[in-house]
Structure 1
Amino acid sequence: MNTTYHDKNHSRLGDIVDGIKLTKVHYLALLLVVTGGLFEVMEQLILASLGPSLQEAFGASAQDIALLSTATLLAIAVGGVTGGYLADRAGRRAVLAVSVGIYSFGSVVAAFSMNYEMLTVARIITGIGVGGEIAVGLTYLSELTPTRIRGLFVSLFNTISAGVGMFIAFAYTIFVLGPFAAMISAGDEAWRWAFGLLGIPAVLVFFFRRYLPETPRFLLEKHRTSELNASLTRLEQGKMRLRTVGEAVEYFSAAEVDAASAEVSASGRVSDLFISGQRKRTVGLSIVAFLAWGAQFSILLVMPLLLVERGYSISGSLTFTMVQNIGGLLGAILASIGAYSFPRKRMIAIGSVLAAVTIILFAFFATSPFLVMLLGFLFNFSVMVVNTTIWTWSPELFPTKIRGLGTSVVVNIGFIGGALIPLAASALFENVNEYMTFGIVVIIYIGIFIISRAVTETHNRSFEELDPTD
């Protein structure tokens, strides 16, 4: 097959995108995607922070709360893969907007849950929306930004949404269950407000649809010449909107776009994730994500329950967990800086080794409030170095036609790990002892270190360099 036009025009697009200086359109895209991600992370973590309250409200056990988390995370996986598939066909921007609307609606349904079963359904709805928003957000930012700062922008998505979100989720819960509940006399129903207020991000849908351009790479793949030129014009000139079609600079003619796109399939297929040269990338990073998310959610789920079991109050356990998660924010910041300066494999190695060491220290030496907070802080720091790097790495490993699907597969296989591994961790916590839970986490991080070595390094490499057909 002759791919001359395809290679020429995609390479030219890469040069154009890389030559554009950052404008307010780039920053608006980052702000809106990150804000959606911030609420999405709070949606993920709300069960961990509300766990003790839900136990009281529904007479639920630790494993019941773990099952709620599992249902949510499996729904995230389904929504993420579906969203990634649709994003490669309908566009990144449209799927982002729909996903935010779905998870906001799920939060409101959760607030009105009359029983455990209804809450489970609500969490499934929420998870479907969250899954689509995460993977498509990563894809969107990676395609919109120049190579030199691509890793920084994508990692900032996790740094701000997850790093800040991990801290805010517990601070938010403490506020709603405490001062806010007292102010409105919510009493034992305060957890409903904690869910309901997370429906606020629905207003972001308007801004996603009105002010964000579609990514040039997606538009080139889909033969949409006028929109491609308009998107590049908006990015280069920093315009939120173009008043007329005539304002768009003609970077590509319709003939050039048609000639390039005619050489490739309109959309990628699932099988493209496992062709020669791509298989190791897909499988390797998927396993790493599966293990990393599983370890993170296991500790997030067990930590408040563990602290309550050790004699701390519910509010006290949430305060400790909130302080520990400041470490997560700093770890995500380090990973963002590292995404600009250091190889992905090096960042994963640093984070996984530190995580294994600090969780061992926590298991045996976290016997006072100070050590609980310090060692928990260091563990969460390490976790977020690993996870933020995975988020940065994922969209870089796939060509445009399967970038949405590939990124969603990696990220959401991670969420399947986050759904399944905590079931085993919580069962060991309740039926054996906490040390077995910590032991599993240590083994997981050793596995992450080893497997990540086999994945393709992408630091400071353009999409065209990583895949000549892109």
Structure 2
Amino acid sequence: MLDRARSNDVINVQDFLNAQPFSPFQWLIFALCFVIVLLDGFDTAAIGFIAPSLIKEWGISRPALGPVLSAALFGLAAGAIIAGPTADRIGRKVVLTASVILFGIACVWSSFSASLAELTVLRFVTGVGLGAAMPNAVTLMSEYCPDKRRATLTNAMFCGFPLGAALGGFLAAWMIPQWGWRSVLLAGGTVPVVLAVLIVLLLPESVRFLVARRAAPERIRASLGRISPVALDASSFVMTESAARTEAKSGIGLVLSRPYLAGTVMLWLTYFMGLVIFYALINWMPLLLKDAGFPPQTAARVSALFPLGGVGAVLFGWLMDRYNANLVIAAGFAATAASVFAIGQVSGNLALLGAVVFVAGIMMNTAQSSLPALAAAFYPTQGRATGVAWMLGIGRFGGIAGSFLVAELARRQFGFAGTFTVIAAAGLVAMAALLVKQRAQNH
């Protein structure tokens, strides 16, 4: 492999990464990106943890919280859609640094909000930064990974998101009684601003991006030399990609070009449907269980089992690195559909209901968390940031649709079992979309 990676002082970057042991420098990149994603999860979930305190302090009704709770979702979509093409044009590190600073400052500013309207605007701005950070962390990390470990490492990094959201809940429970709800936002904003300094000092630009942009060999040599001194003797660097060729001149053009269009649309549809399921259940399951006859505390405890399953993404990453990634995730969504459907059939047995909800959470969160790694592997360097970011951005509207879906089903008087049957159908659509993507790639 080393002979293939290096010939006449010319190094093929991906062959070089495949040939070397995973170095401390690459683990540093992983750690920084993991913390970025963890903070993303913390700040995304923060508003939900402080909502009861807002109602109490400002004397507002629950419906009045709707705009502030959804503002970040719209910001997340906008940030991802803008940041992807920008990162493919000017670099992953620049956009990642700017986005971390943006959501950090906006979150700190939010802690000083004097009105619901002001907090709503700042949550949107926070969402823009969060939406821009996530896809660029995924892209940069994937571009320093060897081929055989890319999905495993990218999925492991993505586990920082649910961990950050859970951490936010524990910290909020401890901080709010002592210092009030503003302390949660202040902490959620201060840490990213400090992290931005470490990103500037320690995080390199994507070496694949540098080669694609024909950067000076000295810059590429500096990064690869920290992985192995073998790179220090190279005079030039090249990169070969197995992805389909296209004449597109921009990331957007590549993502929407003929060789990638079918896969792009299927990735969007898959991510959209995954978030339909996630937000439909996260937002409505406690109320649905209460309406099915469970006491409010029991409904809350059972519902809390659903978002705990993200750690399975590491296993799926391992499977994706060894087998067909499209089919691995498609199987995950098929299992998601089956388990969500089963929730509606076992409401008479509390123990069984809890077990099924937990399994549904594992399958749904695992399949959904694996999609960024799938997108990163699907697109070449020229359009990778755009491809990952647009999937995440456009898919966010699935979260909005999922929230409205259950309300519409209730208006049409769907029962408990019928509601979960409709939600489960979204998992089958996601599975079918990945099978279509697989078929398109084979033609």
TM score, norm. by length of structure 2: 0.85
Question: What's the CA shift for 1:367?
Answer: 5.4
Structure 1 residue aligned with 2:176, among 160, 172, 181?
A: 181
Structure 2 residue aligned with 1:378, among 344, 359, 378?
A: 359
Question: What's the CA shift for 1:107?
Answer: 2.0
Instruction: Name the residue aligned to 2:219.
Output: 227
Structure 2 residue aligned with 1:193, among 177, 183, 192?
A: 183
> Which 4+ stretches in 1 moved above 6 angstroms?
8-11, 263-266
CA deviation string 1:246-286 (max 9, x = no partner): x97142439x89xxxxx999962422222221111111111
Quick one: structure 1 residues 437 and 134, their matched pair in 2 at CA, closer, same or farther if it must change by over 3 Å? farther
Q: Is the 8 A contact 2:375 2:388 kept in 1?
A: yes
* Separation of aligned partners in 1, 2:259 and 2:81: 21
* Separation of aligned partners in 1, 2:9 and 2:369: 32
Quick one: structure 1 residues 221 and 390, their matched pair in 2 at CA, closer, same or farther if it must change by over 3 Å? same
Quick one: structure 1 residues 340 and 163, their matched pair in 2 at CA, closer, same or farther if it must change by over 3 Å? farther
Is 1:312–2:307 an aligned residue pair?
Answer: no
Quick one: structure 1 residues 444 and 58, their matched pair in 2 at CA, closer, same or farther if it must change by over 3 Å? farther
Instruction: Name the residue aligned to 1:398.
Output: 379
Q: How does 1:284-433 map to 2 (within 5 A)?
A: 284-306=266-288, 310-313=294-297, 320-326=302-308, 328-366=309-347, 370-371=351-352, 373-429=354-410, 432=413
* Separation of aligned partners in 2, 1:364 and 1:450: 24
Quick one: structure 1 residues 266 and 248, their matched pair in 2 at CA, closer, same or farther if it must change by over 3 Å? farther
Quick one: structure 1 residues 48 and 440, their matched pair in 2 at CA, closer, same or farther if it must change by over 3 Å? farther
What secondary structure, in the 3-state scheme, does the structure 1 residue paired with 2:365 have?
Answer: helix
Structure 2 residue aligned with 1:218, among 209, 216, 224?
A: 209
* Separation of aligned partners in 2, 1:9 and 1:44: 47
Is 1:157–2:157 an aligned residue pair?
Answer: yes
Question: What's the CA shift for 1:311?
Answer: 3.5
* Separation of aligned partners in 2, 1:379 and 1:66: 27
Instruction: Name the residue aligned to 1:102.
Output: 102
Is 1:438–2:420 an aligned residue pair?
Answer: yes
Cα RMSD between the aligned structures? 3.3
Question: What's the CA shift for 1:181?
Answer: 3.5
* Separation of aligned partners in 1, 2:305 and 2:170: 9
Instruction: Name the residue aligned to 1:171.
Output: 170
Quick one: structure 1 residues 197 and 28, their matched pair in 2 at CA, closer, same or farther if it must change by over 3 Å? same
Q: Is the 8 A contact 1:110 1:195 kept in 2?
A: yes
Q: Is the 8 A contact 1:77 1:415 kept in 2?
A: yes
* Separation of aligned partners in 2, 1:349 and 1:205: 36
Is 1:23–2:7 an aligned residue pair?
Answer: no
Q: Is the 8 A contact 1:335 1:389 kept in 2?
A: yes
Quick one: structure 1 residues 109 and 362, their matched pair in 2 at CA, closer, same or farther if it must change by over 3 Å? farther
* Separation of aligned partners in 2, 1:96 and 1:434: 45
Q: Is the 8 A contact 1:348 1:386 kept in 2?
A: yes
Q: Is the 8 A contact 1:97 1:204 kept in 2?
A: no
Instruction: Name the residue aligned to 1:207.
Output: 198
Quick one: structure 1 residues 317 and 122, their matched pair in 2 at CA, closer, same or farther if it must change by over 3 Å? farther
Q: Is the 8 A contact 1:285 1:452 kept in 2?
A: yes
Question: Which letter does structure 2 place at the counterpart of 1:228?
Answer: I
Quick one: structure 1 residues 206 and 429, their matched pair in 2 at CA, closer, same or farther if it must change by over 3 Å? farther
Instruction: Name the residue aligned to 1:253.
Output: 236
Structure 1 residue aligned with 2:264, among 279, 282, 286?
A: 282
Instruction: Name the residue aligned to 1:32.
Output: 32
Question: Which letter does structure 2 place at the counterpart of 1:204?
Answer: L
What secondary structure, in the 3-state scheme, does the structure 1 residue paired with 2:370 have?
Answer: helix
What secondary structure, in the 3-state scheme, does the structure 2 residue paired with 1:455 have?
Answer: helix
Percent identity (aligned)? 21
CA deviation string 1:358-410 (max 9, x = no partner): 22232343457645542321111011121122121011111111111111111
Question: What's the CA shift for 1:357?
Answer: 2.2
Question: What's the CA shift for 1:93?
Answer: 1.4
Quick one: structure 1 residues 369 and 125, their matched pair in 2 at CA, closer, same or farther if it must change by over 3 Å? farther
Quick one: structure 1 residues 169 and 130, their matched pair in 2 at CA, closer, same or farther if it must change by over 3 Å? same
* Separation of aligned partners in 2, 1:368 and 1:195: 40
Instruction: Name the residue aligned to 1:244.
Output: none
Moved more, 317-326 or 36-45: 317-326
Q: Show structure 2 runs of 5+ residues with no match.
A: 1-7, 240-244
Instruction: Name the residue aligned to 2:46.
Output: 46
